[in-house]
A and B are shown apart, each in its own frame.
Chain A
Amino acid sequence: MSTVQDRELEHLRRLLLKDDRTRITETEVELNTLRKQLSEKEWLISTFSPVLNDVIDLNINRSKDDVAKTLSPVIGPAIKHQIGEAKEEIVDALYPIIGKTVRKAVAEAIKHLADTINNKIENAMRRSRVRNQITAKISGVSPQDLILKEALPFSIQEIFLIHRESGLLMTHVSSTSDAAGMNKDLVSGMLTAIQSFADEAFSQNESQDINEIQYGDQRIIIEAANSFYTAIVVKGVTPARFNGMVTRLLDRIQHQCGSELRDFQGDQSCFGSAKQLLSELIKLFRDSQDEEMQKGQSKRPYGLILVASFIVLVLAIWGVSNLYPYLRTSRHMTGLRNCLQADGGFAHVICNIENSRILLSGSVEDIKTEQRLDSLISTHEAVDYVDNRVIIFTLKQSVISEIEHRFQPYTIDGRLICRLHLDGTTVILEGHVSSRELKRHVGYLAGLVSGIAVVENNLDVSNSIDSKALIDDVEEDPILFASGSYDLNHRQMQELDSLAEWLISHRESWVIIKGFSDQSGSENVNNQISEKRAGVVRVYLFNRGVSHAQLAVQYFGSSLSPKDAELSGRRVELEIRDRR
C-alpha cells in the first residue's frame, strides 16, 4: 500500500515540480557557463569595457573628491617610481608632445604681446606709414616687421652644437673668418662648465639652464634640448620669431641625428646634416642683412646730390672771380721772368705768384744790380702787379769768415776736414770724414752759418780705423782694474772711444763684455764687482753712441780667475762678434 502511495506521490511531485526542475537545471548550466566565462580575462574585458568607462565617468562626476582621495596615494608614488626608473625614456617619449604643447602656449602669449606692440608701433610711426605699407605689400612682410627690421639690425656670428653631458663640441658654424683664431673646443667646454656651476650654485630646487650670456655688444643665446644644447653668438636685437626658429631647429636636429646624439663618443664628423641646418639659419639672417644693405645702397641719395650741386655752384662762382686774375698774373710773370733771364745779373732772384700778384724774392750782390732791377720792373707792363722783396747780400765773404770761425775745431794742419762750395744761398759739403756722427755734425754747423738756406751734405764716411787691428787689440788686452775698483782711467776711455766709433760704423757687429774679479773676498762680493766692471764698460760705450743691441754683458765673479795672478783677475774682457 505504501509503495503504491509512494509512486503516486512521486508522480504527483513530478507533475508539480517538472517546470521548476527544468528551470533549476537550466540555471545550473547557465551558472556554470558564467563561472567559466568569469575566469576568462578576454571575455571580461570585451564584456565590461563598453560600460566600464561610462560607470567610471559617472562615479567620478558624482564624487570627484572621493576618487582623487582614493587613487592619489597609489598613483603618485607609481608615477614617481616609473620616472625614477626610466627618466631618459620618459623624457624622450614626452619631449615631442609636451614640447609642442608648451610651444603652442608660449606662441599664443607671444602673439598677444606682438599684437599689443604692433598697435603701439602703428600709432607711433604714422609718418613713415604710407611708405612702409607700400614696401610691405611688395615684399610680403607685415609693416610692423618691416619697421622693426629696419630699426633693429640682427646677425648671427657663431653657432656651437655642444654635448650637454661632456661639454664636447659636436659641430660649429661661423659667419665670419674671425672664428679661425678661436679655440672652439675650449669655448664649448667652458660654456658647459659655467652652465654646470651656475646650475649647482644658484638653482634652489629644480635644475635650470643659463639662457643668455652678454659680452659687450654680443650675446650668447643658449637653447637646450635633451642631450645637447646650442650656443648662438648674436649681435643686435633678436627678432621675435628667432626663438621659435631655434626651437624648431633643435627639433629637426633631434629628429635627424637622434641616434648620433644619443651615442656620441667624440666623433664630430657624423653631424654633417646638423651643420647644414645651422648654416642655413646663419644664412637666413645674413641674407636679410645683405638685402637691407643693398636696399640702403640702392636708395637715391637726394641729400648728397643737393649738397654736391651746391658745392659745384660755389666752385663755379669762385672760379669765374679768381681764374681771370690768375691767368693775367701768370702771363705777366712769364714776361718778367724772360726779361730777368735776358739780363743775366739776376741769377738769385726768384719769381712766384702769391695772391694773384708777382712776388720777387732772393738776393742781388750789390746796390747797382738792385737799381737795375728796379728800373727793369718799372718799365715792364706788369709793374702794377709786382711785389719786390729782393735784398742785397754780399754772401761769399761773410759766409767764408763765419765758416772759418765755426769750423775751427775741425781743421787738420790748418785745413778744413772737408771741402765747401758756395752756390748762392746753398753750401755743398764734400770730402771724407771718419764717422756718421761727424758727418751729421759738420752738416749741422754749416746750416748755422748766416745766409745759408740749404746744406747739401755729400760727405763720405770712410772709416780709417783698421778693423782687424782694433779687434785684435780689444780682444787681446783686457781692461784691468785696481782692487775693489770699477773706475776706468783716461787711457782705457780713449781705447773705448775707438771701439765705440768702430761699432757705430759697423752696426752688424756687437761686443760681449765679460766682467771678472780676483779670488780675494766672498763669492757674493766678487760677483757684484765683476758685474759692476762689465756694467761700467757697457754704459761708457752706450754713452758714446753705441746701440743697446750691440752690447751684451756677462759676469763671472772669481770663478774663472787664476789663483796666482790677482791683478789679471780684476779685468773686463771684450769679445767682438759679427751677426753676418
Chain B
Amino acid sequence: MADVVTLSKKICLLGSFGVGKTSLVRRFVHQTFEENYHSTIGVQLSQRLIALDEKAQFNLIIWDLAHIEKYDNVLKRYLHGAHGAILVFDVSRPETLEALTPMRCFFHENSKGAPCLAAANKYDLLEKDAVDFDTISRNVEALNVRCVYTSAKTDHQVDMTFRTLCSMF
C-alpha cells in the first residue's frame, strides 16, 4: 500500500462576537454541539485530518480566533502563514455580515492572498422563508468570496465548508 502524503495547512476562523466560530470548529472536529456560550479568549487551536483521496490528505490546524474590535499586531501575527480562512457570520444578525468586509481586507493583507470563504452560520435559527437570501447574496458578493449556509447545531454543511476551502488551496 502506497504511503499517504500529508500536507499540513493552517486555517483561520474570523468573525464577530458570538457568530458560532467555536461551535463550527467543535462540530467539525469533535462532532458535538454545546448550547451554552463560552467566549474564546485569544486563540484556540484544533486539528483534524481530511482525506483528499487514497494518496493524499490535509492535516488541518484550525486557529479559532477570538473577535477583537481593533485589527492590531497580535491578530496580524496570528494570521501570518495562514493557508486559508473561513469568515463566519450569523444569518440572524445582518451587522455580523457587514463586519466581514474589513476582516476580509485585513486577512488578505496579512496572508499573502490565501483563499477564503464565508460561512452563513445559524441557518437553523430562521425559517427558510425568513432568510433574506437576496440581501445576504448582495453583501457576500461585495466580499468577493464564496458563501456556504451552515448550522453547527444541526450539522448542516459544516464538513462541506471545510472541504470547499481545502479545494481552494
Question: Shortest beta-carbon distance, B112 to chain A, in Å?
Answer: 10
List the A side residues contacting B83 at CB < 8 Å.
166, 265-266
C-alpha gap A167/B78 in the complex (Å): 9
Contact (Cβ within 8 A) B81 A163: yes
C-alpha gap A201/B73 in the complex (Å): 9
Contact (Cβ within 8 A) B45 A265: no
Nearest to A188 among chain B residues (CB) is B61
Contact (Cβ within 8 A) B61 A168: yes
List the B side residues contacting A167 at CB < 8 Å.
10, 61, 81
Take A265-B7, A268-B6 as given contacts and tell me if A166 and B80 are in contact as well, using a CB distance cutoff of 8 Å: yes
Q: Mark B48-65, 1 if CB is under 8 A from A, else 0.
A: 000000000001010100
List the A side residues contacting B78 at CB < 8 Å.
193, 196
Q: From residue 1 to 60 of chain B, which have CB atoms closer than 8 A to chain A? A: 5-10, 42-43, 45-47, 59
User: Could you say which of B9, B45, B80 contacts A266, with CB atoms under 8 Å apart?
Assistant: B9
Nearest to A193 among chain B residues (CB) is B43
Q: Mark A164-208, 1 if CB is under 8 A from B, else 0.
A: 011111000000000000010110011001001101110000000
Nearest to B3 among chain A residues (CB) is A269
List the A side residues contacting B5 at CB < 8 Å.
267, 269
C-alpha gap A193/B44 in the complex (Å): 10
The secondary structure that dominates the A interface is helix
List the B side residues contacting A193 at CB < 8 Å.
42-43, 45, 63, 78
C-alpha gap A413/B131 in the complex (Å): 82
User: Could you say which of A168, A183, A190, A201 contacts B8, with CB atoms under 8 Å apart?
Assistant: A168
C-alpha gap A166/B85 in the complex (Å): 13
C-alpha gap A408/B77 in the complex (Å): 86
User: Could you say which of B42, B74, B81 contacts A166, with CB atoms under 8 Å apart?
Assistant: B81
How many residues belonging to A are interface residues under a CB distance threshold of 8 Å?
A: 22
B82 at the A interface (CB under 8 A): yes
List the A side residues contacting B9 at CB < 8 Å.
168, 266
List the B side residues contacting A267 at CB < 8 Å.
5-8
Contact (Cβ within 8 A) A168 B45: no
Contact (Cβ within 8 A) A197 B45: no
Pick from A167, A265, A267, A269 the residue with the most CB of B within 10 Å. Answer: A167
Contact (Cβ within 8 A) A186 B8: no
B69 at the A interface (CB under 8 A): no
Question: Shortest beta-carbon distance, A196 to chain B, in Å?
Answer: 4
Contact (Cβ within 8 A) B74 A165: no
User: Could you say which of B6, B61, B77, B80 contacts A189, with CB atoms under 8 Å apart?
Assistant: B61
Contact (Cβ within 8 A) A169 B8: yes
B72 at the A interface (CB under 8 A): yes
Take A185-B8, A266-B59, A269-B5 as given contacts and tell me if A200 and B72 are in contact as well, using a CB distance cutoff of 8 Å: yes
List the A side residues contacting B8 at CB < 8 Å.
168-169, 185, 266-268
Q: Mark B80-97, 1 if CB is under 8 A from A, else 0.
A: 111100000000000000
C-alpha gap A197/B43 in the complex (Å): 10
C-alpha gap A139/B64 in the complex (Å): 54
Question: Shortest beta-carbon distance, A520 to chain B, in Å?
Answer: 34
C-alpha gap A169/B81 in the complex (Å): 12
Question: Shortest beta-carbon distance, A164 to chain B, in Å?
Answer: 8
Contact (Cβ within 8 A) A186 B81: no
Contact (Cβ within 8 A) B77 A199: yes
Question: Shortest beta-carbon distance, B115 to chain A, in Å?
Answer: 14
Contact (Cβ within 8 A) B72 A189: no
Question: Shortest beta-carbon distance, A431 to chain B, in Å?
Answer: 57
User: Could you say which of B61, B72, B77 contacts A185, with CB atoms under 8 Å apart?
Assistant: B61
User: Could you say which of B7, B47, B77, B82 contacts A196, with CB atoms under 8 Å apart?
Assistant: B77
Question: What is B's interface to A at a CB cutoff of 8 Å?
Answer: 5-10, 42-43, 45-47, 59, 61, 63, 72-74, 77-78, 80-83
Question: What is A's interface to B at a CB cutoff of 8 Å?
Answer: 163, 165-169, 183, 185-186, 189-190, 193, 196-197, 199-201, 265-269
Q: A167-B81, A268-B8 are in contact. List 9 more A-B contacts (CB 8 A).
A: A165-B81, A166-B10, A166-B83, A168-B10, A169-B8, A189-B61, A200-B74, A266-B7, A268-B6
